[in-house]
Homo-oligomer: A and B are copies of this chain.
Amino acid sequence: MNIEIAVNQIEKSALAHLDLNDVSFGTTFSDHMFIADYLDGRWQDFRITPIEPIPMHPGNAVLHYSQTIFEGMKALRRKDGTPVLLRADAHAQRLNKSAQRMCMPEIPQELFLAGLRRLVDIERNWIPHSEWGFLYLRPYMIAMDDSLYPIPSKKYKFVIITSPSSSPIYGKPVRLITESFYVRAVKGGIGEAKSGGNYSASYLPAAEAKEIGFDQMIYLESPDFKVIQEAGTMNLFFVIGNKVVTPSTTGTILRGITRSSFLTLLEDNGIKTEVRDITIDEVVQAYETGNLKEAFGAGTAAVVSPVAEIVHNGFVMSLPPISEQKIGASLKADLAAICRGEKKDKWGWTVEVHS
């Protein structure tokens, strides 16, 4: 595939007016974006332009029927300042899995990567230098037909935008409550696809959990509400005895890439892992017998969210103090060290971006 990217660079970066040590997740955007159009059955017109509004017909299908998919990734830095992408190939693959479920065209992996590298190259100064800062990368694809007929579009846009963040979201230990009414996804649904509908569907459950003092909810498998799925925006890990257990991807949870990295790192460190169905009853029992050593959420933006407390049917499980929850912290440190180049990248997870 011949990938020529036309670049229209701005003259003055908005960075001049920004303190990269003080930007919160997802609200500040860098100077440029990458765009490709899908027209007449092929991806074309690859370009990097100043970030600017996309003119959208009010009958555009994505506004009505939510045919949209996205990825969430990161650019970080080597110790020497070189920009580095984390698991870009895995994200490219997952976007295409989402595309299949949502009847959208796939993005050739080389186009995905070329756009990403070129954009990060241009925006390299937007990657924070702070220890836990990162440049969030948001590749996404949206339907572009101007039609209210509820069928897949013929036209699409693939866009990459970037947003700096001075620290991970959900930095502090979280309080979780199990959900016994709302359902995020079921087998046969779109729970495995990273598509917008899964996210806005979670707003009300999340708001209700927040109202009673929780950071997020733990979704359980419908209709029995026993088997643990995931939290609203992160996969879950439980340290029970000397094993680390995480729900299997049964068609209902997002195949988290941080989750996948953690499983590899754990195995590499000789820690026993189990990927299987895990019920909330098992977690309660482990807690009661003193075997629930640790719990954490895993996701791109937060990396690790240590869990302070889980409440199920009024039963409060207080997890050990964060200082004693060592596995999550060490996974986070390992992943950061691999990105910084301080730890060997055995699996080729990182790609340096050079001009």
Contact = CB atoms under 8 A, between A and B. Distances in A.
Interface stretch (A105-113, A115-123, A147-155, A283-291): A147-155
A150 B194 CA distance: 13
B183 A189 contact: yes
Interface string A112-156: 000000000000000000000000101010110011111110000
Interface string A55-70: 1111100111111101
Contact of A199 (B56, B64, B223): B64
Interface stretch (A21-29, A238-246, A270-278, A347-355): A21-29
Interface in A23-61: 24-27, 29, 33, 51-59
A75 interface: no
B146 A27 contact: yes
Interface in A175-225: 181-184, 186-190, 195-204, 206-207, 222-223
A222 B202 CA distance: 20
B54 A58 contact: yes
Contacts of A184: 189
Contact of A25 (B148, B159, B200, B206): B148
B187 A64 contact: no
B68 A29 contact: no
Contact of A183 (B53, B58, B187, B200): B187
A280 interface: no
Contacts of A100: 204
A233 interface: yes
Contacts of A233: 150
A169 interface: yes
A203 B142 contact: no
B169 A203 contact: no
Nearest to A27: B147
Nearest to A101: B204
A223 B189 CA distance: 11
A187 B163 CA distance: 36
Interface in A64-101: 64-68, 70, 100-101
A14 interface: no
Main secondary structure of the interface of A (DSSP, over half): loop
Interface residues of A, number: 68
Contacts of A222: 186-188, 222
Copies in the assembly, this chain: 2
A193 to B, nearest CB: 8
A22 to B, nearest CB: 16
Interface centre among A181, A190, A198 (most CB of B within 10 A): A190
B66 A148 contact: no
B26 A149 contact: yes
A329 interface: no
A319 B148 CA distance: 30
B53 A148 contact: no
A307 interface: no
B66 A196 contact: yes
Nearest to A181: B188
Contacts of A204: 100-103
B223 A63 contact: no
B148 A138 contact: yes
Interface of A: 24-27, 29, 33, 51-59, 62-68, 70, 100-103, 136, 138, 140, 142-143, 146-152, 159, 161, 163, 169, 181-184, 186-190, 195-204, 206-207, 222-223, 232-233
